[in-house]
Structure 1
C-alpha cells in the first residue's frame, strides 16, 4: 500500500500536497489516531513533504533561469514541468 500511496503523491499539485500534509499534521497533533494509523499517515506525510520540497526546488530553478531584456522584461523562461 505504501508504494501505491507514494506513487499517487507524485501526481499532486503543490497546493493539494500541502493541504493534505497540514491535515495529517493536525491529526497527529490531536493524538486521537491509533498507533498503526499514525505510522501509516506519518509515512504519507513524509512523502507529501518530499513532494512539496521537490516542487519548490523546481520552481526555484525556474525562477533562477529567468533573464531580463534591456527594458527589464523577463525573457527565456521555461515552463515548470510538474509531471
Structure 2
C-alpha cells in the first residue's frame, strides 16, 4: 500500500479487499493479512475525512484569519 495513494485509490483498494473477503475463497493467512490491510486503509481514510471536515468547517474573515465555523442550532421559540 503506497502512502501517496489518493483517497479514491485507497477507497477502491478497501472495496476490493472487502469483496475478496466476502467471497470466502481466500486462505486464512491471506485473509488475515487482507483484513489487517483493510483496517489500516480504514484508519487512513477516516483520518483524511476528519481533516477534510476540519478544513471545510473553517471560515476566513476579511483579514484572512481563519476561525472555526459553528452552527447555531436554534429551536423554534414561537410555542
Scaled by the length of structure 1, the TM-score of the pair is: 0.68
Which has a greater percent of helix?
Answer: 1
Offset at 1:19? 0.4
User: Counterpart in 2 of 1:52?
Assistant: 45
Higher relative contact order at CA 8 Å, sep ≥6: structure 1 or structure 2? 1
Matched length: 65
User: Counterpart in 1 of 2:23?
Assistant: 30
Q: Which contiguous aligned blocks of 4+ residues in structure 1 show a shift greater than 2 angstroms?
A: 66-69
Offset at 1:12? 2.1
The runs of 5 or more residues in structure 2 that have no matched partner are 67-79
Task: Describe how 1:5-16 pairs up with structure 2 within 5 A.
Answer: 5=1, 8=2, 10-16=3-9
CA-based RMSD of the aligned residues comes to 2.0
Larger Rg: 2
User: Counterpart in 2 of 1:62?
Assistant: 55
